[in-house]
Structure 1
Amino acid sequence: MDFIKSTPENVDELVKKAGDKTSGKRRLEAVQELGRYDCQQTRDVIKRIALHDRVRVVQETAFRIAQGLGIKKNGKPIFLGKKDIGYKSSDFTKVFQRVKRESEMEYFDLETFKEKFKKMNPEMFDVMTYDKGSKFDRWIENIFNSLPKNK
């Protein structure tokens, strides 16, 4: 793969998009665009995302670009570790209970819940949307239905 050996004109905009924790799609687009260039600024962003992004498809894309650029960490080639979304089940329970409590939801309404969930914790919503894919709605229902009942 041939890289352009310069800094993109819109580098600040791309770096900002790459740091948008609320949209995996925007980060993926930014990584793909940054991956066309070989300069220190793009290398730093690609490396950070390849090592730390919670959305696996974004992380894998950055990792592949990093390999092509020969990016290293502490003098060693970086590697793609095991998948880690960065959340525990207790994190979901806390957020779901808060959404349920604040929306005063007696009966489950998927669209209302998703709207409040996205507003309350956009990063978690984004990560789980990518992680669960087509099973996202069912996952929300299952977590909601397994929440501890109020006494």
Structure 2
Amino acid sequence: MAPLDPKVDDSETLVRVIKSPFHLKGKKLKKQAFQPPRTKQDLSVIRQVMGDDFCKNKGVELLAQATNAKYQGLATGLTMDVRRLSAKVIDYPQDFMGHAHIVSFAAHSPDEPHSPEVMEKLDNYYAKMVEHFLYHPDPKPEVAGWYGPSLKR
């Protein structure tokens, strides 16, 4: 496959791997699904242009490296909606082709806590991300490949 355009177009679908118990409450996304790990300032997503099967298989592969996380499905959102929330979406092929990062407006050092005002803004930001992403529970989580509806939005 030819390299992807490093510019992530506004119309591109972004795919977030969803795991339990961290990202779901019942069958609904929690704002924690869009909160970067404490040691990071960016959130990993997969560019759907790689294909639905690729997104699922890569997500399962990446989660296999994590502890206490169980793959549940995928969430999809449009790049333009993420950018409207004052976040950046950047191609990040250093890890794998099709990888991108969502960088929030409040990037910081993990050693320095945010002020209460910034924490409140971030809390609202994560809640709005939930509104812009659609959760797709995986109908066949134990099987390679995506068997749910198309992930392209």
TM-score normalised by the chain length of structure 2: 0.22
Higher helix share: 1
RCO comparison, higher one (Cα < 8 Å, 6+): 2
Higher strand share: 2
Which structure has the bigger radius of gyration?
Answer: 1
